Amino acid sequence: MIKLGLIGHPVAHSLSPRMHQVALDACGLEGEYRLYPVPPLPEGQEELDKLIEAVRIGEINGVNVTIPHKRTVMPLLHELTSTAKSIGAVNTIFLRNLRLVGDNTDAPGFLADLFLRLSDYIKGKMDTPAALILGAGGSARAVAYALSQVGWHVSVAARREEQARELLSSVLQDLHTNPIALHLSADSLRRRIDSSPKIILIVNTTPLGMHPNIQANPWPDSVPIPAGAFIYDLVYNPRETAFLKAAQAAGLPACSGIGMLVEQAALSFERWTGLPAPRLEMARSVDPDRLF
């Protein structure tokens, strides 16, 4: 029996069990996908150690990792894939040759969904499209890395500006696109927009707006969202966040992170099982109204 799961806090809202159970069933595999709520460190250190050890000895066949442990699990692993190492965050753990391997499927998962949604939108916009990322955690690192790999100019805004600077210096250190770090505040965002009117993508990687705090919005009310920007909110519960509603009210195209969620899950499933993931079935399990 295949045992999979998700480590994070909170995790009760997660759609991953539904997706992965559908994937297991579609592939004719007997198995389960469980939620493992682990508080932030240092409180959750003992529980985190036990779960990673369970993967090492084969009691658990693989796990996903989400907030707040995408970086805290790294010292517990034997090796990282090149993508996880470059990003500095792990969302997928599996055993290979008796060694614990940390990977990051968030970056390719984000790009796959972004290209699906933006392929027509960005045609003719500019040679070097510009993106503004809200937040500087593990998901922000994956998004910044993914966009930079395909030639986007990246700005990162965080409530702690030093965290945004650290992200850029570690994740984008080998690039020459002059990424910009700024404080996630009305004044800083306004100055950035005024100095760079060509921002065509804004990505929220913060948990603001996530259930149950659905009224929270990472974008200040006093700052107009740039005209012509596509809004991508990694939060998928609720499907329409306060940020997405504000974007739609301004007449801007916007989407939740449900597509990225499906794609990163499919890539994780393939790492664990070695089988092609049934993407259509996984997507329909969490988004039955979406047209494919």
Give me the pLDDT at residue 126, please. Answer: 55
Write out the DSSP string of 57-94.
TTSS-EEEE-TT-TTTTGGGSSEE-HHHHHHT--SEEE
H-only helix segments in the chain: 16-26, 45-56, 82-87, 106-118, 138-149, 161-171, 186-195, 242-249, 258-273, 279-286
Domain with CATH 3.40.50.720 in the chain: 122-252
Tokens of 121: 């939108």
Which stretches of the chain score pLDDT less than 70?
119-127, 173-177, 197, 289-292
For 173, which DSSP code? T
Residue-wise pLDDT tens digits, 124-146:
555 678 999 999 998 999 999 99
Tokens of 50: 């036990």
Tokens of 90: 């792990």
Give me the pLDDT at residue 67, please. Answer: 87
Are residues 214 and 241 in contact, defined by beta-carbon separation less than 8 angstroms?
yes
Give me the pLDDT at residue 143, please. Answer: 96
Give me the pLDDT at residue 30, please. Answer: 98
Strand partners, 156: 133, 181
C-alpha dist (Å) from residue 81 to 5, 87, 94: 20, 10, 11
Give me the pLDDT at residue 176, please. Answer: 54
Q: Which residues contact 169 (CB under 8 A, 6 or more apart)?
A: none
d(CA 251, CA 273): 43
Can 70 be counted among the known catalytic residues?
A: yes
CA-derived radius of gyration, the chain? 19
d(CA 24, CA 61): 13
Give me the pLDDT at residue 91, please. Answer: 96
Angle at the Cα of 162 from the Cα atoms of 156 and 164, rounded to 5 degrees: 20
Pairing of strands 92-96, 79-80: unpaired
Are residues 66 and 35 in contact, defined by beta-carbon separation less than 8 angstroms?
no
Q: How many CA atoms lie within 13 A of 254 on its CB side?
A: 26
Domain with CATH 3.40.50.10860 in the chain: 2-104+261-286
d(CA 193, CA 188): 9
Question: CATH code for 2-104+261-286?
Answer: 3.40.50.10860
Homologous superfamily (CATH) of 122-252 is NAD(P)-binding Rossmann-like Domain (3.40.50.720)
Give me the pLDDT at residue 178, please. Answer: 79
From the list 3, 50, 70, 125, the catalytic residue is 70
Residue-wise pLDDT tens digits, 178-211:
789 999 999 999 999 998 768 999 999 999 998 8
Give me the pLDDT at residue 291, please. Answer: 46
Q: Determine if residue 158 is left, alpha or beta; phi over 0 gives left, psi from -120 to 50 gives alpha, anything else beta.
A: beta
